[in-house]
Structure 1
Amino acid sequence: MRTITRLAAAAVAATLLAAPAVAIAPANADTTAVTAQAPTQALKAKKISLKLSKKYSHYGQEGVKVTAKVKGKGKVKFTQNGTVIGTDKVKKGKASVRLPQTNAPGVYKIKAKWKKSVAKAKVTVYDSSLSLSGVAFTVSKSATTAPPSLTGTVKFKGKVGTTGYVDIYKNGNVKGGSSSPDYCCMASVQDDGSFEFSGYTFLDEVAEKEAPGTYSYQAFYTDDAGFDDYIYSAPITVTVVP
Structure 2
Amino acid sequence: MTPKVAIVTGGSRGIGRAIVTRLAADGFAVVVGYAGRKDRADEAVAAVEAEGGQAVAVQADVGDEHAVSALFDAAETTFGGIDVVAHAAGKMILTPVADLALTDLDTLYHTNIRGTFAVAQQAARRLRPGGSLIMFSTSVVGLAFPEYGAYTATKGAVEALTLILARELRGHDVTVNTIAPGPTATDLFLDGKDEQTIARLAAQPPLQRLGTPEDIAHVAAFLASPEGHWVDGQILRANGGII
TM-score, normalization by structure 2: 0.29
TM-score, normalization by structure 1: 0.29
- Structure with the largest fraction of strand: 1
- Structure with the largest fraction of helix: 2
Higher relative contact order (CA 8 A, sep 6+): 2
| Larger Rg, first or second structure (1 or 2) | 1
